Amino acid sequence: MSPMIINWYIFFVGMCIGSFLNVCIYRLPSGKSIVRPASACPVCGMQIHWYDNIPLISYIILRGRCRECKTAISIRYPIVELLCGLFAMASWMRFGNSLPALIYFIFIAALLVITFIDIDHRIIPDIISLPGIPLGFLASLILPQLNWSDSLLGIGIGGGILLIIAWGYHLFTGKDGMGGGDIKLLAMIGAFLGWKGVLFTIMASSLIGTVVGIVLMVRAGKGIKMAMPFGPFLAVGAIVFLFFGPQLINLYFNLL
């Protein structure tokens, strides 16, 4: 089988998984089962048929609307499917036909769910981040790019740094500037990426968050205060490190 056919197959399978991730994103915040009942339109209640649930393709055919009541379907659904398909293919191309490729793809899928839930609800579900910490540590026993000591150190540094920052912010302002969900998420990231991944993720997410925040404030107008979820920036920083971390770190030190 040619590499191109394999790429397209992995891309489509990834999009199918992305369709399931959409279910998780929609149902987990409200505590609903991600298995039952079958997916249905939230407006008219019409059950979605299998031919209307083909990733990306069905959205295009239906022009982004429910077949029954014509209510607009959120653009988030095809975006998540497309991202999941691309990351599935990228994981295979980066790590080959291997167990690490599967482990890292599952890690990325978890970050996608966390990202969009945090954007919609300003929460990071413990049901993903907390189990992700021991799972990441167990994965370190398999992953050739990571050893158990780096993973353990990553958990400690990841959870510890944000906990200190959150505690300090609350001490000086009397307000909560960072939620516990971010702390648990960074500990999970540390479990999968080690302490170097944690430090890179903190720097990258802070830089990206600052740039995005400035752009949004400029567009919204001066004097307007905006609260942004930090989880998506942590997820982006972790994914960047996963695929480009060593190269970017070497580039940074070479420039110095």
pLDDT, tens digit, 9 for 90 and up, residues 108-155? 999 999 999 999 999 999 999 999 999 999 999 999 889 999 999 999
Contacts 24+ apart (CB under 8 A), 140-145: 140/191, 140/192, 140/194, 142/99, 142/100, 142/103, 143/100, 143/103, 144/100, 145/100
Confidence of residue 170 (pLDDT cuts 50, 70, 90): low
Crossing angle for the helix pair 231-255 and 99-121, to the nearest 10 degrees: 120
Q: According to the model, what pLDDT value does residue 226 have?
A: 62
> Phi and psi at residue 2, in whole multiples of 5°?
-70, 150
- Residue bearing the bigger pLDDT, 192 or 145: 192
Crossing angle for the helix pair 126-139 and 148-173, to the nearest 10 degrees: 150
Per-residue pLDDT of 14-72, as tens digits, reads: 999 999 999 999 999 988 889 888 888 888 888 888 888 899 999 999 999 988 898 99
Tally the residues of the chain.
256
Confidence of residue 245 (pLDDT cuts 50, 70, 90): confident
- Residue bearing the bigger pLDDT, 164 or 108: 108
Q: According to the model, what pLDDT value does residue 169 have?
A: 59
Residue type, position 90, single letter: A
Q: According to the model, what pLDDT value does residue 35 have?
A: 86
- pLDDT above 60 for 159: yes
Confidence of residue 191 (pLDDT cuts 50, 70, 90): very high
- pLDDT above 70 for 176: no
Q: According to the model, what pLDDT value does residue 171 have?
A: 65
Residue type, position 189, single letter: I
- pLDDT above 90 for 252: no
- pLDDT above 90 for 166: no
Per-residue pLDDT of 80-114, as tens digits, reads: 999 999 999 999 999 988 999 999 999 999 999 99
Per-residue pLDDT of 207-240, as tens digits, reads: 998 898 888 878 776 555 666 788 999 999 999 9
Q: According to the model, what pLDDT value does residue 256 have?
A: 65
Average pLDDT of the chain? 88
- Residue bearing the bigger pLDDT, 217 or 191: 191
